[in-house]
Structures are given as C-alpha cells and as structure tokens.
Amino acid sequence: MDQYFKIGKLAASFGLKGELVLQHSLGKKTSLKGLETIFTEEGKDNFMPWFITGTSIKNDAETFIKLEGIDTKETARKLTPKEVWITEEDFKKFAAKSSAIALLGFNMINDGVDLGEILEVIEQPHQVLCAVSIDGKEALIPIHEGSLQKIDQKNRKVFVTLPDGLLDIYR
C-alpha cells in the first residue's frame, strides 16, 4: 500500500470553471508540474484520487489547481476545505528539502531513544510541532532552536533534547 503525506488543503474555489486554490506547505513556489494525482481522505485510511488537468502558481504557499470532472464553481466548493494528500514518491519530488514538512517520515531521536516516525508536521509561527505515536497515542513534540540538536538527512533522523517530563504526559 502506498504511504500518503498531507501537504495542505483545498482552501477555496476560484473562477467559474471549477478551479481550486491549494494551500500547501511544500516550502517553495511550485506549479506541481508533473503531478498527476492528489488525494482527499474520505474515511480513515480511505483515499479518493483526483486527477489533475492543470495547475498554475499563485504564490509561495498556494497553487491554482484544476481537477478532472470539476467544471463549475459549485462542484469545486464541495471539495473545500478538504485536506490534500500525495504519495510518498510524489512528496519527495515536490517538497523543498529545507521545509519543515520534509521531516515527514523521519525518525525522532530524544537523548538516544527513538521516539518513532514523524507522522505529521504542523507549522506555527515560533515552532514546528511534529506528531509521533508513543504507546499508541499521538504525541505533539515541539521543535525549535532550543530543542533541535541536528537533522541527519542521509539517515532520515531528527535529533532533539526535550524538556524533562514532556513525554510523561503521553505515557
């Protein structure tokens, strides 16, 4: 089964012919040229494919996107504000290496202990929150200049030093 990475959401419809505005966190301006399919989650681990017929850049964090079968403003509105996912293979092509979202799939290491794979990245103004699963519970771990030690791109690991007691609330 393919692994899917959340890259943003369909924020709004645009124009009269069913175009949509995709707000993404890929970390760079992109027209998503070459991307054929995006996915929306219709249920737990049930992804609906949408085939792309056209795209254009709006700004650093938004791309206009046209989907097959979506030809009116009304049908486009039914897709907002759905979260958008792409396959891991496509994610590796389109995410900027320096963007926070590029940490998806990395393992988080705290003082030599592997906390698990980063499942979601939430960007906030002064820090980034990384979701990992600890004992079956979603743990949101803050990453900022005080906690981040280093990022090992080659081995796909993020090394952190977390404050005492932070992980206790998840155990």
Give the domain ranges of the chain: 4-93, 101-170
What's this model's pTM, rounded to 2 decimal places?
Answer: 0.66
Residue 1: pLDDT band (50, 70, 90) is very low
pLDDT one-digit tens code per residue, 42-73 = 877 778 899 999 988 888 888 899 999 999 98
HSE (side-chain half, CA atoms, 13 Å) at 166:
13
Mean pLDDT of the chain: 85
Query: In whole angstroms, what is the distance from residue 99 CA to residue 20 CA?
Result: 23
Report the top-level CATH class of 101-170.
Answer: mainly beta
Residue 64 has what pLDDT?
92
CATH 3.90.1150.10 for domain 4-93, yes or no, is: no
Provide, rounded to the nearest whole percent, the portion of the chain with pLDDT above 70: 98
Question: Where in 25-79 does DSSP place strands (E)?
Answer: 37-43, 46-59, 62-67
Q: What is the CA radius of gyration of the chain?
A: 18
Residue 19 has what pLDDT?
92
Reduce the DSSP state of residue 18 to 3 states and report it.
coil
Query: In whole angstroms, what is the distance from residue 97 CA to residue 163 CA?
Result: 27
Q: Do 4-93 and 101-170 have matching folds?
A: no
pLDDT one-digit tens code per residue, 140-159 = 988 888 888 888 888 989 99
